[in-house]
Amino acid sequence: MANIGKFLATKILNTTTRGEQFVFPDQLYVGLYTSNPTFNDTGQEVNGGSYVRKIVSFDAPVQTTVREYHPKTGALSDIQKLVVRSSADTPFDVASGNWGVVTHFALRDAATDGNLYYYGELENPRSILTNDIFKFLASQVEIRLSLS
């Protein structure tokens, strides 16, 4: 599951309420982080050791019921969401050095630098060592939009 970043949130609000023109990118890149990227894009992205962001593709949005903790009550509930999921496996290159403990991911609009669109925490953080390969399986990168 992913959270929206400040850049994209601002663009959506300005586009839908103020008529600002905005061209969405044709593709997004997934990056790995050793700390929370945060709404303000302040996290620590992996660097070195043959690390590069990867293009990620998505299936069409579907309305579905997901089990989530309610943000106010904390109760586990079935909630209706509009969801997009990655459509294919997204493997990263073999690490030629230690990448550290990967705890988060982010979706950005460029292979380097660029703007943060979405970010999230990995369900299972993983220490990436020399010769390891990190891979998101199809459907593992997910963006949910609340319907209520």
Residue 147 has pLDDT above 80, yes or no: no
Cα distance between residue 62 and residue 98, in whole Å: 37
Quick: pLDDT tens for 31-60: 999 999 999 999 999 999 999 999 999 999
Residue 11, classified by CB atoms within 10 Å of its CB into exposed (0-12), middle (13-18) or buried (19+), is: middle
> Residues 29, 55: contact at Cβ < 8 Å?
yes
How many Cβ atoms are within 10 Å of 119's Cβ, its own excluded? 22
Res 69: pLDDT: 86
Residue 71 has pLDDT above 90, yes or no: no
Res 29: pLDDT: 99
Give percent of the chain above pLDDT 90: 87
Res 82: pLDDT: 94
Quick: pLDDT tens for 84-124: 999 999 999 999 999 999 999 999 999 999 999 999 999 99
Higher pLDDT, 43 or 66: 43
Res 57: pLDDT: 97
